Each structure stands twice: as structure tokens, then as C-alpha cells.
Amino acid sequence: MNTYISLLRGINVSGKNMIKMPDLVRVLEEEGFINVSTYIQSGNIIFYHPDTSCHDLARKIEDVLLRKLYMTVPALVMTPEELSAVIAANPFTERSEIEPEKLHVTFLDEKPAATGRVKLLAYSFLPDEIMMSGKTVYLYLPNGYGRTKFNNTFIENKLGVTATTRKWETCLTLQGLLSAN
């Protein structure tokens, strides 16, 4: 049995796409996902499954949400090792002046085309900073996520891929929860 993390995009935000976490756990377990647990209300899911394709599992979760909860919600799935690699590669954590509570990570469902990457990185909205690596966008937002132009929709539009953003603290907590399993 393999362990996975799924990050749902855009649920329980501003009263839209409202999903109660017990309902989410129930419908996934009814569909063969094992030991499903969630962390906070923003669609962070840890589960076990015999499948080995993150892409296929993401599509299964999207299908379950559509069939059982009548919601179209993009899902990204990764392994604990992939999450650990994202955390280890954050270029902002090497700088002593960085405030960790101002860090965010945008997870992409696929590696964007080089043209999209160039397009996104051409923007500068100081004091906000942005860096990319593979399927990950790292954000340092001194004035907070609610005030940045580097929001999820902006990133998706420039890169042409589905994305979902999490606070740095959430990423670290998920890693800790995975280590405890």
C-alpha cells in the first residue's frame, strides 16, 4: 500500500466549493481510498492506495468529487518523497531575513512549457518574490497572500497549467503528519 497526499484546488474559500471534511473522507473511503485523513479545511488529504500513478489517483479523486458531491474540483496528488523534495528545494529558506510565515508554495499538476515559465518569471511585483523549480512555484510575500498579484489564478493563466497554493507552514505540517504515519 502506498501513501499519497492530495491537494484540492479552491475548496472552502470565500464560501465557494464547500466540502465538509468528514464527507470528503467518507466518499473517498467508499471508493477504495484507505485510512483517509484531512488537515484543515482547505483540501489537504493523506491516504493510502494500491495504485502507483499520481496522475491516475488525481483523476479518480476528481471523479469521486463529481459523482458523489456534484463538484468539479481539480486535485493534485504527490508522494511523501515528492513533498519532501519540494520542501528541501525551497530557495527562500536559505536566506536568513526571510520570515517563514510569508512563504507559500504553488504546486502545479504538470511541468509548464518553457514559454510559460519565461512569461511568469518576467513579472515583478516587489516586494513579492517568485522562483520556480520543475512543477513548483515558490513565493515570498512580505505583505501576505491576500495582497499579492502572484495569486493562484495569475500563475495558472501565465503557465497554462492547474495549480494550487499552500502556506509554507501547511507544507511542513503535512510532511510531519506523513512522518508520523
Domain annotation covers residue 181: no
The per-residue pLDDT for range 106-129, each reduced to its tens digit, is 999 999 999 999 999 999 999 999
Q: What is the pTM (predicted TM-score) of this model?
A: 0.93
In angstroms, the CA 171 to CA 148 distance is: 20
Domain match, 44 and 98 both: no
Cα separation, 13 vs 3, whole angstroms: 27
| Mean predicted confidence (pLDDT) in 20-37 | 93
User: pLDDT tens-digit profile of 130-178?
Assistant: 999 999 999 999 999 989 999 999 999 999 999 999 999 999 999 999 8
Q: Which CATH number do you get for residue 99?
A: 3.30.70
- Evaluated on CA atoms 56, 59, 61, 67, the torsion sign reads negative
Residue 178 located in a structural domain = no
Residues 37 and 60 in one domain: yes
DSSP string, 54-94: HHHHHHHHHHHHHHHH-----EEEE-HHHHHHHHHT-GGGG
Could you tell me the CATH number of the domain that includes residue 58? 3.30.70.1280
Range of the domain at 66: 2-78
> Is residue 17 predicted with pLDDT exceeding 80?
no
